[in-house]
Structures are given as structure tokens and as C-alpha cells.
Amino acid sequence: MNHTDGNTMTCGLIGNPVRHTLSPLIHNSIAEMKGVNLVYVPFEVPKGGVKNAVRGANALGIKGLNVTVPYKSDVIDHLVEIDPLAEGIGAVNTLVRTEGGFKGYNTDMSGLYHAMQDEGIVLDGECVVILGAGGVARPVAYLCATKGADRVYVLNRTYEKAEAVAKEVNNALDESLGEKIIPMPLDDYKELLDREKRFFVVQCTSVGLFPDVNSAVIEDEKFYKHVYAAIDVVYKPLETKFMKLVKNAGGKVFSGLKMLLYQGIDAFELWFENEGIKISKEEADIIYKSLMMEVLGATNVILEGFMGSGKSTVSELISDKLELELIDTDEAIEEAEGRKISEIFEQDGEEAFRDMETGLMEMVISEHMRETVISLGGGLPVREKNRELLKRAGKVVYLRTSPETVYDRLKGDDTRPLLKSENPLARIKELQDERGKIYEEAADIIVDTDGKSPEEVANEIIAAIGFAD
């Protein structure tokens, strides 16, 4: 990350709660990419503290702020100016320093529109269906109507809430646009199918949010046959049941994580508009991959398994496919020690080598290493402390391989110190009996490798983690 000094600028996020925000990952990554001397930090503001937070940020020279729940409307009274889009939406999520204070913008909606454009979604003359009438529905309806959608339906279980959203947005729209927002009870969705042949859907409810991952607000497959594209504002899990239903029916889907990414990018570009900073599609894609890994709990992809399970080959394939760095713990220790593993065993003993493995994993944690494929030595997970470290380091994948397959792959290899036995197959079975349960305990994902090529195993791991198309 960027080095901080007396010239370091500060941006941040105000809201409550903010401890689990992904925004620092977005903005600090952009700052590093662009060589901007800036740090981005979250500020948890207590109830009733918005006024003081904005005044304090101005007094301290904070360059810009994001605003999250529950303060997106409350903050408006403490701004010196507000952008027309944010004013029409009635919510602000980005503050840009200007003379005398802060100007408010809404990059939630520009970020959503940016994400739509990135996915090739065109709203002109189209029909949009919004599922839900909560806090997100109103700005989404306003955005879609002002960006050319011909009809915007708001479906909600409580019709009165959908009706209130429609009334508010229709009143906020320019009279020339007419009343584009149409409220409808959620249970009447079949009537919508009679009216409209195809539509773009924005899923704005909390249905499908972890841990309720097996639900969708509408589960009727007939509905999804009319959906040509959709976004779910939920991004945990990365692929909700709603998205799976759209995909299974042939529609195009994208996650709310892309909306989160672009609202952050749009905010950063507003803060540095005078410097002309723009984030390219290629740079955005790099940050999006980081966000995906964070959401998937796969900040690093870690491969464990018995010797001969294919860890080295498969890890190289995953590294290439996902464009991640690669570390082989055995090779890293050999390079650091200037000796082969067999020499370390002979000269210092196995316990000393295991200490080296633990030290390496502690370094991975302390250095906040991320976006790396780590291929583990076969015995590394045996230590309980190492298993604890692995859980903190990323997504652990166990390559499970039968003793016979291991023996077939390794027979004749005299560089393996633990296989120097009169009966190598029996020794393999003995060690696997000892380690199998341990590997399973450490693993988030188990992949059986017998009868599969390294390419097949790599693809299975990528799909299991959540990176498959």
C-alpha cells in the first residue's frame, strides 16, 4: 500500500456500521495504481453525529467522503451544494470538497448505470422491473426513468410501499417524461408477464442475502423466461438464487458487487476531477477481481494434499488462469535456506523444517499477502497452529488422491525423504491414514484427483471457489 507522510491526503467513509466495508480495498487500490498519495479509512459515526462529522471532516482537510446507511439523506442538510441527480434521488453517498464545505453526489446510481454500460445494458425504450420498494428502489427507479427506460414497474409485497415509491419518483421527474413508474403488488407478477414480453430486472430486496441463500423473491420459472438481463444488488453470496434462476433461463446476470465497484470508481474520479484522473476498464477489472476474492473468502487460494497429489502442477494452472501470484512453500524455504528439503531434514531434522513452514505461514498473515496461489508442502497442515494460520490466509483446497495413484506418480523418486522405505506403497498408506483426517479438517473444499487431468482439477477448483462463468 502507499507510504504515508506529511503530504498524504485522506478520504473515507461515514456511516454506522462501517467495519465490514469493502470501500478501503477499492480506493486504496486505485490510489496505489495511480500513484496518488492517499489513504482511505472508515469512520463509524454515532447516531446524531452527522453534522459534527461533516464539519470535522471539513476542518481537518479531508479531501472527500463516502456516505453509507443510515446517513445518505441526513447528510444533505449539512452540504453547501448538491448535484441535481442526488437531489432528485433524495440521497447522497459521495462528498466532494468545495469552497466553504462539501458538495453532495450520488455515485450509487451513476455506479449502477456504469455497471449496466459495462455489461452492455441499454435502457432506451426498454421495460425495467424493480423487485422491492425499500431504500434502494426509489433511486433505481429515478435513474432508469431518466436514462431512457419507457416503463419502470415497482413490484413489492406491500403494495402501498410500491405505490409511494412510484408517486415520489413520478413527482420528481420532469413533466415531459410523464408518469413512467408503475406500482404493482408482487403477487400480481403474472399480470406483468401478460403485458411485457421482455424486461431488465433490478433485484432490490434482501431476499437471497446470506444466510438466506436458497431463496428468491420470485421462484416461478415462467417469470425468468421474460428476463433478458438482471442485476442483484445483493453481493453476498456472489451468485444469489435469483441470479441462478435468470442464468438458467438464458438471461444475462451481474452482481451488485460491480455496482459497488463503479460507485467507488466514480467517487474517486470526482475527488480528483481537477487532476484528470480516470480509471480504465482494465484497472477496474483488476480491482473487481480483488473484490470477488474478498467476498468469496479466497484472498489467497491454498492447495494442500499428500505428495504426488498434483499440487505444484495444478497451482501453476490456477495461477495462470486467474492471473495470480504463485508460491510453493517448499521452494520458498529452499530458496531462503539455500538448501534442498532433503538436506534440511538430514542436517537439522524434521522439527526444524516444520518450524520454517510455520514461520512462512506467519509471514503470509503478517504481510497481509493476498491474490496468491499457495502450494503447500505435504506435511505443513499437520501442525494445529499451521491449520489455524491457513484458515486466516485464504481458501484451502484439499487435493485428495488415493495411495495407489500417489505411488504410481512417485515411484522411482528418491528425493522424497519420507518415502525412503523398503515398501513405499505401505509407507504412503500409513502416512495418508495419519494425514487424511487432518487435511479434511483444514480444507474448505475437497477435490478428488484420481482419473482427472491437472487441467480438469484446476477447472473444478476454480468453479468450486466461485470464479467459473
Active site residues: 72
Does 157 belong to an annotated binding site?
yes
**Helix ranges (DSSP H) in 252-280:** 256-271
Does 398 belong to an annotated binding site?
no
Does 366 belong to an annotated binding site?
no
Say if residues 467 and 292 touch (Cβ distance below 8 Å): yes
If DSSP codes are grouped into helix, strand and coil, which group holds residue 251? Answer: coil
Does 354 belong to an annotated binding site?
yes
Reference 201, options 311, 298, 127, 114; nearest CA is 127
Does 134 belong to an annotated binding site?
yes
* Matching residue, cell 476531477: 273
For residue 78 the three cell numbers come to 449539512
Does 161 belong to an annotated binding site?
yes
- CA 141 → CA 127, 226, 445, 466, distances in Å? 11, 19, 40, 31
The H-or-E segment that residue 309 falls in is none
Does 56 belong to an annotated binding site?
no
Does 416 belong to an annotated binding site?
yes
Does 329 belong to an annotated binding site?
no
For residue 184 the three cell numbers come to 404493482
Does 378 belong to an annotated binding site?
yes
Does 35 belong to an annotated binding site?
no
Does 83 belong to an annotated binding site?
no
Say if residues 1 and 242 touch (Cβ distance below 8 Å): no
Sign of the dihedral through C-alpha 256, 33, 293, 366? negative
Does 136 belong to an annotated binding site?
yes
For residue 396 the three cell numbers come to 484451502
Does 278 belong to an annotated binding site?
no
Say if residues 329 and 380 touch (Cβ distance below 8 Å): yes
Does 156 belong to an annotated binding site?
yes
- Ramachandran region, residue 299 (left: φ > 0; alpha: ψ -120 to 50; beta: rest): alpha
360: Cα within 13 Å, side-chain hemisphere: 23
Does 441 belong to an annotated binding site?
no
Does 159 belong to an annotated binding site?
yes
Does 208 belong to an annotated binding site?
no
Between the two ends of the chain, the Cα-to-Cα distance in Å is 30
Does 160 belong to an annotated binding site?
yes
Q: How far apart are CA 181 and CA 165, in angstroms?
A: 8
Does 251 belong to an annotated binding site?
no
Does 308 belong to an annotated binding site?
yes
DSSP of 30-75, one letter per residue?
HHHHHT--EEEEEEEPPTT-HHHHHHHHHHHT--EEEE-TT-TTGG
DSSP of 386-409, one letter per residue?
HHHHHHHHSEEEEEE--HHHHHHH
Does 330 belong to an annotated binding site?
yes
For residue 250 the three cell numbers come to 438464458
Q: How far apart are CA 154 and CA 181, in angstroms?
A: 7
For residue 281 the three cell numbers come to 476498464
If DSSP codes are grouped into helix, strand and coil, which group holds residue 413? Answer: coil
Q: How far apart are CA 189 and CA 216, in angstroms?
A: 14
Does 311 belong to an annotated binding site?
yes
Output the known binding site for substrate.
330, 354, 378, 435
Output the known binding site for ATP.
308-313, 416
Output the known binding site.
21-23, 68, 93, 108, 132-136, 156-161, 233, 235, 256, 263, 308-313, 330, 354, 378, 416, 435
Output the known binding site for NADP(+).
132-136, 156-161, 233, 256
Output the known binding site for Mg(2+).
312
Output the known binding site for shikimate.
21-23, 68, 93, 108, 235, 263
